[in-house]
């Protein structure tokens, strides 16, 4: 009789432990880096950012370490070609401008690596507060499909 109780208690313990282990594995969620998702509220901000000053030119590079994008543009007043860096932060939105530039076709920051050099790009930005400071990009619109 004691062996039957011992077997029942052991079986119940194993089932409880298996349930706890399964529960832990189910609770563990994959953590997705912020650069791989589009932040909540980005679509609403898209329309607000379209009202900011903009600079259009050719995409030169994306520096992940500095979190900056470089654009090559032609200044019609000075009749010269210049490059301009823009700082990217957590509030910057990335959009494709294939058919409708005023409609959001958002993509995550990680896909900025797929944009080829000299792709037509428009950056809507906040002006720098200090003279030597890099402007802060709010909306980066690229004419590309990937």
In this model, does residue 112 exceed pLDDT 80?
A: yes
Q: Tokens 């301009």 sit at which residue?
A: 84
pLDDT in the model for residue 101: 66
Q: pLDDT class for 34, splitting at 50, 70, 90?
A: low
CA distance 23 to 111: 34
Question: Taking the alpha carbons of 144, 140, 113, 72 in that order, is the dihedral positive or negative?
Answer: positive
CATH architecture of 39-142: Beta Barrel (2.40)
| pLDDT for 35 | 55
> Residue ranges of the domains in the chain?
1-30, 39-142
Banded pLDDT at 53 (limits 50, 70, 90): very high
């Amino acid at each position: 009789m004691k062996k039957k109780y011992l077997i029942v208690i052991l079986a119940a313990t194993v089932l409880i432990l298996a349930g706890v282990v399964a529960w832990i594995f189910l609770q563990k969620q994959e953590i997705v880096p912020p650069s791989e998702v589009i932040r909540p509220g980005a679509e609403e901000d898209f329309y607000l950012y379209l009202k900011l000053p903009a600079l259009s030119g050719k995409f030169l590079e994306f520096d992940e370490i500095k979190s900056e994008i470089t654009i090559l543009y032609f200044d019609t007043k000075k009749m010269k070609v210049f490059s301009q860096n823009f700082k990217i932060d957590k509030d910057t939105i990335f959009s494709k401008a294939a058919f409708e530039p005023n409609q959001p076709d958002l993509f995550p920051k990680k896909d900025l690596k797929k944009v080829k050099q000299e792709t037509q790009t428009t950056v809507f930005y906040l002006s720098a507060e200090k003279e030597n400071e890099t402007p802060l990009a709010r909306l980066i619109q690229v004419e590309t499909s990937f």
